[in-house]
Amino acid sequence: MAPAALGSSSSQSGGQTGRQPGGQSGGQPGSHSGDHSSEHPDAHADGHSGGGGSTVTPFPQPANLTWGDVVVLELEVLNTAAVPMLFSAGQLRLKLADGPTITPQDASRSPEAIAGGAVERLWVSYLAPSDATDFYVEFTDPLLDARLALDVPGLPTAKAQL
């Protein structure tokens, strides 16, 4: 497969561009500590807030210290060879510009061959930190024994939409 044949766009469910919050309740990872009475004006002496006085963070993160946002990339893959080529979403790793490489969480296609000259459209999802906005995709081509960097369009965040 030719590297130029792999294109991408970012989106979330419903066709909008961007990221999806994980939808789980809780604060930032590691932010839960004993007494919150100084953080919430309606807090009781035991550290629990009364009647809805607690602050909701715009990016709720899971309590298990995983990233709570999901980045979904819609991809078009063209096999420029005349013969079928194996392809897996695992060949596409999301790379934070200033951080780690992230393996796929899910994909719309199972690992299998793409027919010669065929175009496949698929989506791949990744868990990502809520404050990350600068990404690229690393494509690992096993035949060339190479990793290729593919640009990802800018991702609007929920923070920017508030």
Please check whether residues 147 and 88 belong to one and the same domain.
Answer: yes
Q: Mean of the pLDDT values across residues 140-149?
A: 85
Strand extents, DSSP E, the chain:
6-11, 19-21, 69-78, 85-87, 92-96, 101-102, 106-107, 112-114, 119-128, 135-141, 146-151
Please check whether residues 45 and 81 belong to one and the same domain.
Answer: no
Mean pLDDT of the chain: 69
pTM of the predicted model as reported, rounded to 2 decimal places: 0.58
Note the pLDDT tens digit of each residue in 69-128.
888 999 999 999 999 999 999 999 999 887 888 989 999 999 999 999 999 999 999 988
The half-sphere exposure of 96 on its side-chain side, counting CA atoms within 13 A, is: 15
- Asked if the model's pLDDT at residue 143 lies above 70, the reply is yes
Please check whether residues 81 and 13 belong to one and the same domain.
Answer: yes
> Which segment of 26-35, 41-50, 104-113 scores lowest on mean pLDDT?
26-35
Tell me the C-alpha to C-alpha distance, in Å, between residue 146 and each of 50, 125, 153: 57, 23, 23
Please check whether residues 32 and 10 belong to one and the same domain.
Answer: no
Q: Mean of the pLDDT values across residues 24-42?
A: 36
Please check whether residues 72 and 149 belong to one and the same domain.
Answer: yes
Total of domains in the chain: 2
pLDDT computed for residue 19 by the predictor: 47
Tell me the C-alpha to C-alpha distance, in Å, between residue 107 and each of 71, 125, 156: 12, 6, 22
Do the Cβ atoms of 100 and 56 come closer than 8 Å?
Answer: no
- In which band, very low, low, confident or very high, does the pLDDT at 65 lie, cut at 50, 70 and 90? low
Please check whether residues 137 and 73 belong to one and the same domain.
Answer: yes
Please check whether residues 133 and 152 belong to one and the same domain.
Answer: yes
Please check whether residues 86 and 142 belong to one and the same domain.
Answer: yes
pLDDT computed for residue 6 by the predictor: 46
| Domain containing residue 117 | 3-22+68-161
Please check whether residues 106 and 50 belong to one and the same domain.
Answer: no
Please check whether residues 72 and 105 belong to one and the same domain.
Answer: yes
